[in-house]
């Protein structure tokens, strides 16, 4: 579940609701400028189709976050990561909670694939809104999940935490991330620092 400090109203029709039920929460992309003009009579249908195509593109890009080099992280381990060149002062302010998150993504109860897409969507949404810091609540050791044969897998392991740690390192827009302060989730959550949005000419 994703929360923002602002609560904009979105118009969502029935077709979009059924699409969201299949693919999880999806943040629509901004107009790419490649939409064809339509007559007022068919504007709503074409607008819906364009938003659906954009949503599919987000899902496909999110799936590009790979698993190569994936390593498990201990449930109570504190995580700190920063890109080469980031000044220590920024990382210190992030880890001390001085950069307050304006967007929160809670991944409790998510399966791996759903979490991957939601992390990607949250970052893209934050970038589009000009947010610099977000909070991802990944939790710690989980109860596991049932595989196709009904066997319980990953019980007692910090699967979501480990995957989030791995995925964030693959996103160019992420400058750093660090485990949160206790009041924001401690080692069950991450503060994520994003690049400044590009200036619009």
**Domains along the chain?**
14-62 (no CATH), 80-194 (3.30.1370.110)
Q: What is the pLDDT of residue 34?
A: 36
In this structure, are residues 69 and 169 in contact, taking their beta carbons and an 8 Å threshold?
A: no
**More confidently predicted of 62 and 12:** 62
pLDDT reported for residue 9: 47
The span from the CA of 63 to the CA of 9, in Å, is 28
CA distance 5 to 135: 12
Q: What is the DSSP letter of 149?
A: T
Q: Percent of the chain at pLDDT above 70?
A: 58
Mean pLDDT score of the chain, rounded to an integer? 75
Neighbours of 172 (CB within 10 A): 7
Answer yes or no: is pLDDT of 36 > 60: no
Closest CA to 134 of 75, 81, 94, 84: 94
Model confidence pLDDT, tens digit, residues 120-138: 999 999 999 999 999 999 9
Question: The pTM is what?
Answer: 0.63
């Amino acid at each position: 579940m994703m929360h923002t400090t602002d609560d904009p109203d979105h118009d969502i029709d029935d077709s979009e609701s059924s699409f969201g039920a299949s693919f999880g929460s999806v943040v629509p992309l901004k107009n790419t400028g490649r939409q064809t003009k339509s007559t007022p009579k068919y504007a709503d249908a074409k607008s819906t189709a364009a938003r659906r195509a954009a949503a599919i593109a987000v899902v496909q890009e999110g799936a590009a976050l790979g698993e190569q080099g994936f390593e498990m992280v201990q449930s109570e381990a504190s995580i700190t990561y920063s890109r080469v060149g980031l000044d220590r002062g920024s990382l210190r302010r992030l880890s001390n909670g001085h950069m307050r998150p304006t967007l929160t993504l809670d991944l409790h109860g998510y399966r791996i694939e759903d979490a991957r897409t939601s992390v990607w969507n949250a970052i893209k949404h934050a970038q589009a809104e000009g947010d610099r810091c977000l909070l991802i609540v990944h939790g710690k050791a989980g109860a596991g999940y049932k595989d196709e044969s009904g066997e319980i897998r990953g019980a007692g392991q910090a699967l979501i935490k480990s995957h989030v740690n791995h995925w964030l390192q693959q996103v160019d827009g992420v400058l750093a991330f660090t485990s949160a302060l206790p009041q924001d989730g401690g080692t069950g959550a991450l503060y994520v620092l994003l690049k400044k949005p590009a200036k619009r000419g």
